[in-house]
């Protein structure tokens, strides 16, 4: 049985991080396909809300339990978490980073993994990757966003990513070769049993996610389609606070909106179970203003038979898979996340919303789901991991594997080779 050790200070239980959610499902997929999976992590989260949903009140937990290393099993995966008194990666102390590294080294000794996978550019995870390579263990970095340019990824054998768009970005901008794998999902965890088409929904109304487009659209609908109701899931930013930052195009000192200007916008706190949100969503808005490596919520909406209106950004085209429409965001909005679109610039978004609210697009969404289901990310990932497992075992045991015959370019590995591999 091949062994995978996932390593990152960032928690895989972080519900506020799309990257963490994807990698969590990735590890579950590998476990179900016959891999033994251990996880070395710390209590680091993208947003505080993500830690609360996963573990409750961390401060209270740490106050009651002085343990430095927390160990538990879940879904047949072995987790080892090291203590970190702040959920912010930048606040990790030297002692906490050293604890993380020492714990990782002990796991290397005990588990003897074939591949170390993970992410994190801070010194602690990079030291872990270096230690793994020093011991002859193959390494994989999962690159789930587009903002890691100008980093050479030392001590990494393979960089995987979620979309072809993200792979192309790094090839063009940074001359890095990334293997696009796709997204990992378990539809039963987010597909609602019943649906009521009540709200036009945005998840995470933050500046870079396009709250300016969402707010402008809601304001226009208040006048032209007052019957339409909007919903925000306030994950990293609260809509009522975000609208105060919005300003007119070219006038950063003119803030036209207050929270009370949006009686048609309802807000909810982050949800551990997103099925409740999708059950009441008629259209999902994903108007991202930065480069999206994928856009997990867009794919989840399509699986729920919900059309998506998204920005034409990065991997969103792959995530939507034809189950909606992609529109270009105004350039000034992409340069200044809180710059409001003009009436003319918001018009295509308004017209798209009108169309999806008044037309049955079930056939469109069915084709999109079929396309998404054909993309078997576990098979692609396993294909990429096979030669790395074999190389580690050659380094460790001298099992007769010829390193000169090792596949030089993992991107050319064919899924059909899976049938010829013996992991024994």
Q: What is the pTM of this model?
A: 0.89
* Alpha-carbon span 171 to 173, nearest angstrom: 6
> Over the stretch 238-295, which tens digit does the pLDDT of each residue have?
999 999 999 999 999 999 999 999 999 999 988 889 999 999 999 999 999 999 999 9
Domain containing residue 107: CATH number: 3.40.50.2000
> Are residues 313 and 405 located together in one domain of the fold?
no
The b/e string for 226-251 (b: 16+ C-beta within 10 A; e otherwise) is eebbbbbbbbbbebbebbeebbebee
Domain that holds residue 296: 191-374
Reduced to 3 states (helix: H, G, I; strand: E, B; else coil), residue 231 is strand
Measured CA distances, 382 to 152, 324, 345 (Å): 24, 31, 44
CA-based radius of gyration for the chain: 23
> Are residues 220 and 145 located together in one domain of the fold?
no
Cβ-based neighbours of 134, under 8 Å, separated by 6 or more: none
Reduced to 3 states (helix: H, G, I; strand: E, B; else coil), residue 232 is strand
* Alpha-carbon span 361 to 201, nearest angstrom: 17
> Over the stretch 129-140, which tens digit does the pLDDT of each residue have?
999 999 999 999
Give the mean pLDDT of 68-90.
96
* Alpha-carbon span 43 to 27, nearest angstrom: 18
Domain total in the chain: 2
> Are residues 160 and 272 located together in one domain of the fold?
no
> Are residues 355 and 394 located together in one domain of the fold?
no
> Are residues 162 and 269 located together in one domain of the fold?
no
Average pLDDT, the chain: 92
How confident is the model at residue 404, as a pLDDT? 44
> Are residues 316 and 287 located together in one domain of the fold?
yes
Give the DSSP H or E segment for 118: strand 115-118
Share of the chain above pLDDT 90, in %: 86
Last residue of a domain, one of 352, 374, 396: 374
> Over the stretch 109-158, which tens digit does the pLDDT of each residue have?
999 999 999 999 999 999 999 999 999 999 999 999 998 988 999 999 99
């Amino acid at each position: 049985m091949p062994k995978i050790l996932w390593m990152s200070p960032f928690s895989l239980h972080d519900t506020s991080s799309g990257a963490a959610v994807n990698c969590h499902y990735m590890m579950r997929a590998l476990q179900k396909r016959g891999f033994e999976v251990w996880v070395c992590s710390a209590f680091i989260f993208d947003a505080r809300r993500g830690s609360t949903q996963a573990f409750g009140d961390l401060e209270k937990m740490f106050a009651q339990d002085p343990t430095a290393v927390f160990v538990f099993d879940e879904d047949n995966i072995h987790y080892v978490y090291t203590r970190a008194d702040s959920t912010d990666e930048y606040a990790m102390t030297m002692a906490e980073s050293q604890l993380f590294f020492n714990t990782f080294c002990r796991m290397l000794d005990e588990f003897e993994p074939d591949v170390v996978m993970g992410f994190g550019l801070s010194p602690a995870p990079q030291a872990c990757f270096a230690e793994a390579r020093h011991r002859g263990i193959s390494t994989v970095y999962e690159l789930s966003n587009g903002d890691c340019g100008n980093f050479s990824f030392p001590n990494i054998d393979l960089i995987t990513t979620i979309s072809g768009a993200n792979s192309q970005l790094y090839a063009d901008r940074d001359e890095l070769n990334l293997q696009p794998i796709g997204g990992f999902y378990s539809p039963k965890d987010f597909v609602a049993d019943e649906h009521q088409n009540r709200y036009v929904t945005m998840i995470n109304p933050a500046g870079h996610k396009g709250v300016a487009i969402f707010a402008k659209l809601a304001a226009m609908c208040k006048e032209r389609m007052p019957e339409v109701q909007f919903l925000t899931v306030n994950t990293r930013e609260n809509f009522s606070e975000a609208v105060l930052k919005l300003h007119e195009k070219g006038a950063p000192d003119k803030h036209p909106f207050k929270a009370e200007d949006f009686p048609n916008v309802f807000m909810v706190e982050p949800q551990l179970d997103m099925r409740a949100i999708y059950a009441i969503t008629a259209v999902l808005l994903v108007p991202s203003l930065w480069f999206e490596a994928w856009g997990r919520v867009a794919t989840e909406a399509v699986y729920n038979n919900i059309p998506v209106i998204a920005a034409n950004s990065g991997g969103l085209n792959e995530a939507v898979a034809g189950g909606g429409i992609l529109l270009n965001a105004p350039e000034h909005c992409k340069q200044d996340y809180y710059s409001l679109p003009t009436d003319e610039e918001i018009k295509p978004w308004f017209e798209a919303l009108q169309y999806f609210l008044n037309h049955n697009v079930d056939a469109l969404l069915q084709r999109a789901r079929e396309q998404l289901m054909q993309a078997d990310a576990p098979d692609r990932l396993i294909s990429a991991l096979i030669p790395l497992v074999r190389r580690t075992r050659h380094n460790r045991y001298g099992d007769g594997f010829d390193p000169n015959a090792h596949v030089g370019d993992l991107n050319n590995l064919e899924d059909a080779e899976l049938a010829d591999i013996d992991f024994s």
